[in-house]
Amino acid sequence: MEAVTEPYKTEELLQLAVSLGASDARAIDAGQICVEDALARHCLKPRCENFGLSPSCPPHVSGPAGFRKLQEKLEHAIVVRIVLPSAVLFSAERREVMGLLHQIVAGIEREAVEMGYVDSKGFAGGSCKTIFCHDHDACRRLSEDGQCRHPESARPSMSGFGINVSQLMQTCGWPAKINVRRAESDPEAMTWVAGLVLIG
């Protein structure tokens, strides 16, 4: 595909994010994303149950160093979030919501590539093994048994790159804590899940 010649169509990508199901979407400079080595180490200690299960999580991702290299190359970013009742994340619907988050960032990435931003990359949350391949013993890519089963949706988790998501929410002007006065057991308590797409 040809390199981009048109101006960056921010509004189109923001509208796409909302039409795909995001509650909020914001355009920022990629350089505003804060990456911390210490945050990426949380995947290892205490070891996350998803550690090593898919190419989307450590130790199979390039981590903070890899993300910083991408930031040098890719100038723009679209950040998205889905606001939802906290209780949903503790219910059987969790997988569906996390799957939607992956589909949103993958959809924005695809559109950006179509626009000519051929190196654009989406990042979501959670392990694609748990979200998309929970019924399979192993990730097909890691077991070298073929291609990814869900290339149109599955994207790497931000955690493994040490992305400071709370700060990202602040940068976007979104409160990291919503309904802070409500207990998590409150059925009306709300929370969010977030993802981002580097554009370039």
- For ligand SF4, the binding residues (CB under 6 A) are 54-56, 128-129, 132-133, 139-141, 148-150, 154
CB atoms under 10 Å from CB of 114, counted, come to: 11
- Shortest CB 172 distance to ligand SF4, Å: 27
CB nearer to ligand SF4: pick between 152 and 186: 152
Q: Is 157 exposed, middle or buried (0-12, 13-18, 19+ CB in 10 A)?
A: buried
Number of residues assigned to the chain: 200
- Token pair 């990730």: residue: 139
Residue 160 or 200 with smaller CB distance to ligand SF4 = 160
Q: Shortest Cβ distance from residue 143 to ligand SF4 (Å)? A: 9
**Closest CB to ligand SF4 among residues 57, 115:** 57
Contact 190, 86 (CB under 8 A): yes
Nearer to ligand SF4, 62 or 179 (CB): 62
16 SS3 class: helix
Contact between residue 125 and residue 159 where contact means Cβ atoms under 8 Å apart: yes
How near is the Cβ of 53 to ligand SF4 at its closest, in Å?
7
Minimum distance, C-beta of residue 30 to ligand SF4, in the bound complex (Å) = 24
Bond preceding residue 59 cis, omega within 30 of 0? yes
